[in-house]
Structure 1
Amino acid sequence: MHDPLSQTFAALADPTRRAILARLSQGEANVSELAEPFLDSMSLPAITKHIKVLEKAGLVTKSVEAQYRPCKIKIEALKDAADWMEPYRVFWEESFDRLDEYLKTVVPKKDTKGKNHVRKK
């Protein structure tokens, strides 16, 4: 999978990796800090593998400062994915706006037996 957009979506498909990105959106953190919330259910090497997937997709950078390995999110790397999704977002917003307008035109009407019926204005 050499297509950068496919790598991005593949990396984002995993909830652990999305949680790591959410944590990094608040600021840099080392691998141990990123692993802390997952240690009850996952090993440190497993977290390291998740971080490597994020690095390979270009979503995270990891540097070396003595014993410290700070990770940072690369927000600009998400731009291609956001750009690809934009037409779909616009489509759904317009669809929901049309649905909202339609729903405003229907009003419930009670029949002689007290039951609600929907009719157009």
Structure 2
Amino acid sequence: MSTRLDIVFAALADPTRRRILTMLLEDDMAVTDVAEPFDVSLAAISKHLGVLTNAGLISQEKRGRVKWCKLEPDALRDASVWMQGFGQFDQLDLDGFERFLEKELRQPD
């Protein structure tokens, strides 16, 4: 489980990836729509999506010519259980996680 947690936390460490997760909380999105608000190349966003997919935080599915991204919130369960061991965190609360991500996005880097 430690290796899995390492992969999840490494994926969450990047602010761009956290922003992508926040976007996907609303609904599934096409890769091009995910990339739109970022000032980086589509290839760079694809690499971020690959990291998130590898961590199990999102899934990607090709529908026709379009690749879609979907949030996989259950992937955070192990991280949530691990954090609960410190007694400072409640069970996985997706609304709380969304608020946390939105707060992170509002803070300057």
TM-score range, shorter chain: 0.7 to 0.9
CA RMSD of aligned residues (A): 1.8
> Aligned residue for 1:52?
50
Partner of 2:92: none
Q: TM-score, normalised by structure 1?
A: 0.69
From the CA coordinates, give the structure whose radius of gyration is larger: 1
User: When the two structures are aligned, how many residues end up with a matched partner?
Assistant: 89
Q: Aligned residues: percent identity? A: 43
Find the counterpart in structure 1 of residue 65 from structure 2.
67
Report the CA distance between 1:87 and its aligned residue: 2.9
CA distance in 1, matches of 2:59, 2:36: 19
Gaps in structure 2 of 5+ consecutive residues: 90-109
Structure 1 residues 91 and 33: CA distance shift in structure 2, 3 A: closer
Taking structure 2 as the reference length, the TM-score comes to 0.76
Runs of at least 5 residues in structure 1 that lack an aligned partner in the other structure:
93-121
Q: Which amino acid counterpart does residue 80 of structure 1 have in structure 2?
A: D
Partner Cα distance (2:88, 2:41) in 1: 41
| Segments of 4+ moved more than 2 angstroms | none
Task: Say which structure, 1 or 2, has more relative contact order (CA 8 Å, 6+ apart).
Answer: 2
Give the letter aligned to residue 75 of structure 1: P
